[in-house]
Structure 1
């Protein structure tokens, strides 16, 4: 997401009206390029990070319900839908970025995808607990939104589900009250981006 405003979306580097694109890595739309608008601070999840993440998740997400907060380019949400997710709710506040998400949804005839042009935190607060199997969160770096994002997103994950977090620093689950009872099961780093997959700890 943007380094300067929650209204900006994550994705490609800034420029002057240049076209950018992402490429779906696997699933039904494998190798399909999707346009990404040029917005300052936009940084799509890189190909190799997505490939690693979906290896962790088991490649296919058949029948699963996914939430992509701070959707930006939609790289994670479109990838999830390509891999069989039954529902993907993508939340993006920036009007231009949301319009591009809708255009890409139409290009793919992606019926499983819902796009909400809304503030991610406000919308997350209105969603039912346990209503998603995978929640992706990648709040704007430098905006001090990670703690609140975790607080709102963690309850939305189903009992055996996963929480995926991208951040500008390594995530210490113990440092966040919202992640009590959670553990980082996988993690990695690509450039300046740290990425983590979390799951609730087994209480037995």
Structure 2
């Protein structure tokens, strides 16, 4: 997996309260920020759902997706990132933006997801971003844990970005695919958790 050199150490927020702000990102191995074009498509899909939403970003990397959601008035974001330098930069970027309605968790997303959500103490999430590093087999266990461990509010939207040649996705039975597109080596989909 190659690094995205076009990012040149910055991520640009497309729209919302921080529109056109450019924030520094670490050029870490495997960091593959979602391109502006894909992000624009995604947030067009989410446009009527993002304001006031609780957002979970499972593999934040540059934080492009969660920062874009917060810029567009998501009420809260929990941002998970394994690499400590990237997590530190995300925390700094939140300070720069004077954003106090987000938490950065520096750790393994699967470990965090396995702990589950105590629904008596905390609300679930309305929008979840799943954009794991490619070729590491992380998509299916992430989707399974989201479905099994009370992370999702009813009608939650789940965005999944994977390599386009992946053939073994295991989508939970109560998730309905709403949108699907491909751009080069990337495939991206939007699902909704629907309780019968």
- What range describes the TM-score normalised by the shorter chain of this pair? 0.7 to 0.9
Structure 1 unaligned spans of 5+: 4-10
Choose which of 12, 20, 26 in structure 2 pairs with 1:23.
12
Structure 2 unaligned spans of 5+: none
Choose which of 74, 77, 80 in structure 1 pairs with 2:63.
74
Q: Indicate if the aligned counterparts of 2:164 and 2:182 stay in contact, CA closer than 8 A.
A: no
Aligned-residue CA RMSD in angstroms? 2.4
Alignment size in residue pairs: 190
In structure 1, the partner of 2:172 is 179
Q: Do structure 1's residue 13 and structure 2's residue 8 form an aligned pair?
A: no
Q: Indicate if the aligned counterparts of 1:12 and 1:36 stay in contact, CA closer than 8 A.
A: no
Q: Provide runs of 4+ in structure 1 moved above 2 Å.
A: 11-15, 169-173, 200-203
Q: Deviations over 1:2-34 (max 9, x none)?
A: x5xxxxxxx95269xx95111101110000001
Instruction: Provide TM-score, normalisation by structure 1.
Output: 0.85
Instruction: Provide TM-score, normalisation by structure 2.
Output: 0.88
Q: Distance in 2 between matches of 1:26 and 1:127?
A: 32
Q: Indicate if the aligned counterparts of 1:45 and 1:75 stay in contact, CA closer than 8 A.
A: yes
Q: Do structure 1's residue 146 and structure 2's residue 139 form an aligned pair?
A: yes
Q: Tell me how far 1:157 sits from its aligned partner.
A: 1.7
